[in-house]
Structure formats: structure tokens, C-alpha cells
């Protein structure tokens, strides 16, 4: 049997069992969607990544410095990011890189979740968001570019509840709002003269998006998605539970090649558990 591939590149991405003690999970759906404020004095720590045993800090720093040198005088506006997104979609369809699942039964739900999350942003960008279901039952993945969020049917099957979708989609929004996509596109723009035509640029972009950002950016996007999920009134423990499930899958199969620059799932679960306990005073199971 062909193993299911797991990524969370531009994305995050999950399934789960338990719920935690708060409003928003399916057991207390009567309170789901009740908007909340973030705890005052909330902090975002990246210390937990240092214990991950994956010592690529040196590489990440070198990468950061090189990127700054190469892209220091290049800007990519929100509008330009959206145009990259449009082109990425058109070129991917032309090359049959993916197939959009038109009229998927989850589309309305996904559109609703996206809208609820987007309205919770602080200092929102001008990026307009749209979510697409990709007809792909083997790759558990979600990724994003220029406000377009792509989620595979395999990912939809993997998620166990709506709360997880909130966190996943929120994570993708985070990659846009936190400038991760912008930085990627600055690199693409800097390298475009070497890449030649758009077709090659699209291949390069896809490789970046479907791989992942560095660990810190992934966790930053997790935190961002978690904040939006909380403010929209849904269960923030769901994403921790998702990563627990992924950690189990990793033990069974060799996922490491897919997760090389991702925080491994157990690390991510641990980081989010610490974060939730400290800031939200919740015990996620």
C-alpha cells in the first residue's frame, strides 16, 4: 500500500482523539464560536525548539543572512503577492500539477471557517483569501501563496473535527500575515532572472511551499493560527492533538524526509502545550 505523504508546508497540517477543557470543542458546541479576547500579556516563546535535538540553527542563521543580502532592496506588495498566487494557480493547472475539487462537500464549511478567522486578524494585510480543495487522496497537505490556501482531500479526511480545521487554516493565514510568503517571493523575485520563464519559477515556488518554512516560522504560524482560533471561539487544543496524532504516524513510518525542516510533530505538540498552559491556563489532553 502506498504510504500517505504528510507535509505541512505553507501549512500545517493532522487527526485526534481527546478534547480539552474549554469552550469550542465539539462536546461543548453550544459555546463554540463565542468570540474571546487573547489573554493580556500573552507571550510567544521559541525556546522549546532548542531542545528539539535538531541542531540546524547554524543553517537557519546562514540562510537568513544570505536571504537578507540577496533581497534587501526588493519588495513584494500584498497586491503583488496575490498576483503571484493567481499565476501559481494558473500555471499549476496548466501543468496538471494538481486538480481542484470543484463543489467539494466541505467547501462551504471551509469558506465559513476562513471568513471567521480572517475577521479576527489584528493589523490585517490587504491580502484577499480564498480556499481551494485539491483532489488528492494520498498527500496530507495544506499550503498557501498570495492568500490562496490549498488543502488536499487527504488532509480533510485526516482531520477529526472543525476545530482542527480552524487551526490549520489559521496557520496558513499566519504564513501570509507574518510575511513568510512575502519573504519567499522576494527570493523568487531575486532569482527570477536565473530561473528564466514563469514555468520554472512556479516549480521553484511549489518546492518551497510544499516543503516547509524553517522551524521558527512554522511555530510562529502555529501561534498565529492558534490566536485566531481562540478569538473566533474554537478549541485551541485541537492543533496540539493533531500533532500528537502526527507524532504517532511518524513513529510508524519514515516521515523524517518530509519533516526535515519542520519541527517534528512531538516537538510541535510540546511547544504548543507549553504555550497553551502558560498563556491560556488550559490543560490539553
**Interacting residues with Zn ion (CB under 5 A):** 11-12, 218, 221
The least distance separating Zn ion from the CB of residue 40, rounded to whole angstroms, comes to 27
Q: Which residues partner with 183 through β-bridges?
A: none
Q: Which is nearer to Zn ion, 213 or 230 (CB)?
A: 213
| DSSP assignment letter at 32 | T
In the bound complex, what is the minimum distance in angstroms from residue 221's beta carbon to Zn ion?
5
Q: Which is nearer to Zn ion, 12 or 133 (CB)?
A: 12
Taking the complex as a whole, the smallest distance from the CB of residue 180 to Zn ion amounts, in Å, to 8
Q: Which residue in 172, 275, 230, 247 sits closest to 16, CA to CA?
A: 247
Instruction: Tell me the backbone φ, ψ of residue 125, rounded to 5 degrees.
Output: -75, 180
Query: Minimal CA–CA distance to 175: which of 203, 142, 207, 201?
Result: 142
Which residue's CB is nearer to Zn ion, number 163 or number 218? Answer: 218
CB of 80 to Zn ion, least distance (A): 21
Position with the least CB separation from Zn ion:
11
Q: Which is nearer to Zn ion, 76 or 167 (CB)?
A: 167
- Cβ-based burial of 1 (10 A; exposed 0-12, middle 13-18, buried ≥19): exposed
Q: Provide the angle, in degrees to the nearest 10, between the axes of the packed helices 57-71 and 180-195.
A: 60
Measured from the CB of residue 192, what is the shortest distance to Zn ion in angstroms? 24
Nearer of residues 12 and 151 to Zn ion, judged by Cβ: 12
Q: CA-to-CA distance for 167 and 235, rounded, in angstroms?
A: 9
Amino acid at each position: 500500500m502506498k504510504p500517505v505523504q504528510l507535509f505541512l508546508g505553507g501549512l500545517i497540517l493532522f487527526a485526534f482523539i481527546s478534547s480539552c477543557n474549554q469552550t469550542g470543542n465539539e462536546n461543548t458546541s453550544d459555546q463554540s464560536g463565542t468570540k474571546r479576547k487573547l489573554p493580556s500579556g500573552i507571550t510567544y516563546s521559541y525556546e522549546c525548539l532548542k531542545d528539539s535535538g535538531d541542531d540546524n540553527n547554524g543553517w537557519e542563521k546562514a540562510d537568513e543572512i544570505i536571504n537578507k543580502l540577496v533581497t534587501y532592496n526588493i519588495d513584494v506588495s500584498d497586491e503583488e503577492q496575490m498576483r503571484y498566487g493567481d499565476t501559481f494557480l494558473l500555471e499549476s493547472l496548466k501543468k496538471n500539477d494538481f486538480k481542484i475539487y470543484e463543489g467539494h462537500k466541505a467547501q462551504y464549511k471551509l469558506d465559513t471557517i476562513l471568513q471567521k478567522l480572517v475577521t479576527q486578524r489584528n493589523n490585517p494585510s490587504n491580502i484577499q483569501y480564498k480556499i481551494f480543495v485539491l483532489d488528492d487522496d494520498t498527500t496530507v497537505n495544506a499550503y498557501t501563496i498570495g492568500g490562496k490556501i490549498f488543502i488536499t482531500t487527504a488532509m480533510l479526511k485526516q482531520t477529526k473535527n472543525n476545530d482542527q480545521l480552524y487551526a490549520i487554516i489559521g496557520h496558513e493565514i499566519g504564513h501570509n500575515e507574518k510575511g513568510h510568503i512575502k519573504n519567499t517571493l522576494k527570493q523568487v523575485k531575486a532569482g527570477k532572472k536565473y530561473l528564466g520563464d514563469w514555468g520554472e519559477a512556479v516549480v521553484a515556488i511549489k518546492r518551497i511551499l510544499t516543503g516547509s518554512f524553517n522551524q521558527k516560522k512554522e511555530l510562529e504560524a502555529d501561534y498565529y493560527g492558534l490566536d485566531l482560533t481562540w478569538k473566533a471561539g474554537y478549541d485551541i487544543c485541537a492543533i496540539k492533538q493533531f500533532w500528537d496524532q502526527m507524532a504517532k504516524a511518524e513513529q510508524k513510518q519514515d516521515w523524517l524526509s518530509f519533516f526535515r525542516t519542520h519541527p517534528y510533530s512531538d516537538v510541535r505538540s510540546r511547544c504548543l502545550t507549553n504555550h497553551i498552559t502558560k498563556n491560556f491556563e488550559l490543560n490539553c489532553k
